[in-house]
A and B are shown apart, each in its own frame.
Chain A
Amino acid sequence: MALLELSDVQVFYDKIEALKGISLSVEAGRIATLVGANGAGKSTTLRAVSGLIHPRAGTIRYDGTTLAGRQPHEITAMGLVQVPEGRRIFGRLTVDENLAMGAFTRHDRRGIAEDRERLLQLFPRLRERLHQVAGTLSGGEQQMVATARALMARPSMLLMDEPSMGLAPMLVEQVFETIRAINADGVTILLVEQNALMALSIADHGYVLESGRIVLSGPGRDLLDDERVRHAYLG
Chain B
Amino acid sequence: MSAGPLAIPSVAARRGAARMSAVSLALWTVRFLVVALVVAGTIGTILKDRYTTAQWFEFVLFGLTIGSLYAQVALGYTMVYGVLRLINFAHGDIMMCGAFAGYFVATPLENSGFLEVHPVLGMAAILAAGMVVSGVIAVLTERIAYRPFRRVQGFAPLICAFGVSFFLEQTFRGLFGSSVKSYPAPKWEGVEFHWAGLSVPGVDLLVIVLAVAFMAVLYLIVQKTRMGMAMRAVSEDGEAAALMGVDVGKVIVFTFALGGAMAGIAGVFYAFLFKQVYFYMGFTPGIKAFGGAVLGGIGSVPGAMLGGFFLGLVESVGPSLFLDGIGIKAPYELRDVIAYTLMILVLVFRPQGILGEHMAKKRA
Give, as a whole number of angstroms, the nearest-CB distance from B289 to chain A. 23
The reply to whether A77 and B242 contact each other, CB–CB distance below 8 Å, is no
Judge whether A12 is part of the interface by a CB distance below 8 angstroms. no
The reply to whether A101 and B244 contact each other, CB–CB distance below 8 Å, is yes
The reply to whether B248 and A90 contact each other, CB–CB distance below 8 Å, is no
Instruction: For chain B, residues 234 to 267, give those with C-beta under 8 angstroms from any C-beta of chain A.
Output: 236-237, 239-248
Instruction: For chain B, residues 62 to 100, give those with C-beta under 8 angstroms from any C-beta of chain A.
Output: none
The reply to whether A76 and B236 contact each other, CB–CB distance below 8 Å, is no
Contacts of A97 in B (CB 8 A): 229, 232
The reply to whether B244 and A76 contact each other, CB–CB distance below 8 Å, is yes
Judge whether A194 is part of the interface by a CB distance below 8 angstroms. no
Alpha-carbon separation in the docked complex, A135 to B100 (Å): 44
Judge whether B230 is part of the interface by a CB distance below 8 angstroms. yes
Comparing A21-29, A57-65, A81-89, A219-227, the segment that makes contact with chain B is A81-89
Q: Mark B218-241, 1 if CB is under 8 A from A, else 0.
A: 000000001001101100110111
Contact partner of A73 among B232, B236, B237, B245, CB < 8 A? Answer: B245
Judge whether A163 is part of the interface by a CB distance below 8 angstroms. no
The reply to whether A91 and B236 contact each other, CB–CB distance below 8 Å, is yes
Indicate whether A105 sits within 8 Å of B229 (C-beta atoms), given known contacts A90-B236, A90-B237, A93-B236. Answer: no
Judge whether A104 is part of the interface by a CB distance below 8 angstroms. yes
Question: What is the number of residues of chain B that contact chain A, defined by CB distance less than 8 Å?
Answer: 17
Indicate whether A90 sits within 8 Å of B232 (C-beta atoms), given known contacts A84-B239, A84-B240. Answer: yes
Instruction: For chain A, residues 70 to 115, give those with C-beta under 8 angstroms from any C-beta of chain B.
Output: 71-73, 76-77, 81-82, 84, 88-93, 97, 100-102, 104-105
Count of A-B contacts judged by CB separation below 8 Å = 63
Contacts of B240 in A (CB 8 A): 84, 88-90
Q: Which residue of B lies closest to A152 (CB)?
A: B244
Contact partner of A105 among B236, B237, B245, CB < 8 A? Answer: B245
Contacts of A91 in B (CB 8 A): 236
Q: Which residue of A lies closest to B247 (CB)?
A: A73
Judge whether A153 is part of the interface by a CB distance below 8 angstroms. yes
The reply to whether B243 and A76 contact each other, CB–CB distance below 8 Å, is yes
Give, as a whole number of angstroms, the nearest-CB distance from A220 to chain B. 26
Judge whether A50 is part of the interface by a CB distance below 8 angstroms. yes
The reply to whether A81 and B243 contact each other, CB–CB distance below 8 Å, is yes
Contact partner of B243 among A84, A92, A93, A100, CB < 8 A? Answer: A84
Judge whether A42 is part of the interface by a CB distance below 8 angstroms. no
Contacts of B230 in A (CB 8 A): 101, 104
Alpha-carbon separation in the docked complex, A81 to B243 (Å): 7
Judge whether A213 is part of the interface by a CB distance below 8 angstroms. no
Contact partner of A72 among B232, B233, B242, CB < 8 A? Answer: B242
Give, as a whole number of angstroms, the nearest-CB distance from A12 to chain B. 15
Contact partner of A101 among B239, B241, B247, CB < 8 A? Answer: B241
The reply to whether B243 and A82 contact each other, CB–CB distance below 8 Å, is yes
Indicate whether A50 sits within 8 Å of B243 (C-beta atoms), given known contacts A91-B236, A92-B236. Answer: yes
Contacts of B246 in A (CB 8 A): 73, 101, 104
Contact partner of B245 among A77, A89, A93, CB < 8 A? Answer: A77
Give, as a whole number of angstroms, the nearest-CB distance from B300 to chain A. 10
Contacts of A153 in B (CB 8 A): 244-245
Give, as a whole number of angstroms, the nearest-CB distance from B123 to chain A. 36
A73, A88, A149 interface centre (most CB from chain B within 10 Å): A73
Judge whether A52 is part of the interface by a CB distance below 8 angstroms. yes
Contacts of A52 in B (CB 8 A): 239, 242-243
Give, as a whole number of angstroms, the nearest-CB distance from B316 to chain A. 33
Give, as a whole number of angstroms, the nearest-CB distance from B1 to chain A. 28
Give, as a whole number of angstroms, the nearest-CB distance from B189 to chain A. 42
A76, A84, A102, A104 interface centre (most CB from chain B within 10 Å): A104
Give, as a whole number of angstroms, the nearest-CB distance from A53 to chain B. 10
Contacts of A149 in B (CB 8 A): 244
Give, as a whole number of angstroms, the nearest-CB distance from B275 to chain A. 42
Q: Which residue of B lies closest to A100 (CB)?
A: B229
* 7 A-B pairs whose Cβ atoms sit less than 8 Å apart in the complex: A50-B243, A76-B245, A97-B232, A101-B229, A101-B244, A104-B230, A153-B244
- Contacts A76-B245, A81-B243, A97-B229 aside, 18 further interface pairs with beta carbons under 8 A come to A50-B243, A71-B247, A72-B239, A72-B242, A73-B242, A84-B240, A88-B240, A90-B232, A90-B236, A90-B237, A90-B241, A91-B236, A92-B232, A93-B236, A104-B230, A104-B244, A104-B246, A105-B244
> What 6 A-B pairs are tightest by C-beta distance, nearest first?
A105-B245, A72-B242, A76-B245, A88-B240, A104-B245, A101-B244
